[in-house]
Chain A
């Protein structure tokens, strides 16, 4: 999957993201060793970006509209999912003033 979806990619199914000019979609990584295929993450996903294939969870191949909400990470009983990329809009709807990512910090 391309990191960025740009205007010049017209004609592909990714076109719909062209509305905001372009976007970087979120992504999760699933550890196939730990995954038991319980499908809790599939049910919890807000964007229908996960599916069960061959008794293992994976991201939808065609176009996972992941919004990097982290619900799958939190619900996974085995702790096999980790967020690897965060949703970022570019163009008109671009996210501004964002910093690094991390879990809640202690001050």
Chain B
């Protein structure tokens, strides 16, 4: 079993990938940014916190417990590198940083399970202190037992909107309103596809009931107008138009935003994987075969990091990608053939359900064209929609990287992870071209900010000043 296999991510996909590799006698290196395993969804609380699985994960407690238990059982048979960032990829090697230590780790096969973050659409005032993403609001609760504010508003569209709101309510936080940009009609249209996973659909309905019992106002079909606030106080209120066009003003001290999720694809990009434009999702995603093989030999992609289908699907996709890697390396895995057939069939249902979610909670592309010029699009570099439109009109920058070069949108510390989708929509609307023609920002290392105190573990020689 000479194969060097590196798994990036210790969430549902990464853990299941590592498990399948270990079953075949391979000892993988598992690299994860988190302090503990579980990924975002099954994030384990820090030492010293004592909330129960039921409190932390609700209806998903059983799945979380199983994933944690199975990962714990793998610990002696893998090389686990927590709190470690893969910041660049070369052919057959990843470069990692752990604190200020740098290492290069060679691989024959690499399974990237990089997960997802919130997909965000700017709204005037979203740069004020107290504006978070829904995922960020959830992390604060899961990890530290904190709410993002005393009176919070959840705004956007997608399963996370209701999940986070319900989790806040259960934890005793005040949710002043849930402002949903999707409509009941969207959901009705999505129903046939959502019925692919009736139990998941039922869980969604249960979340709505939690909110109703708690008396949380839920408004559907809203159009965000502004997050109001000041530099000193931060967020003070949220203003939207309701479905009838009437202005709704909700005082609050924090707001969480999000329009479902976007795949974290930078590592696949740095690995040189081919991307394709997904018209329905209005985004570029790495191309894979049904088992997770990318366009680059030896690079496999699994979980929400390649296609958002949720945690249950990620567990299966992680296992499937590992089985594909084993098969390609000529390493036997007992029962793999039957396993692969079963996993493919199951993933088919998740894919159908994901398409339903997309219909039920549409990405509000039309908001981009309507953003007032003074709205900040790129929060890292504080670049407004007006400035982005100026480089489109006056400097002819109709391609994403050209517009970035001229305007700095996507040039800051997040490298476009949070603004690139909206930025591309602004460009497409202004230039009156299809979104696909805008292209996508080329990935550049490091994936996340890298300390300049970084020193290679292999050779420590350095002149001290």
Q: Please determine whether chains A and B interact with each other in the same assembly.
A: no
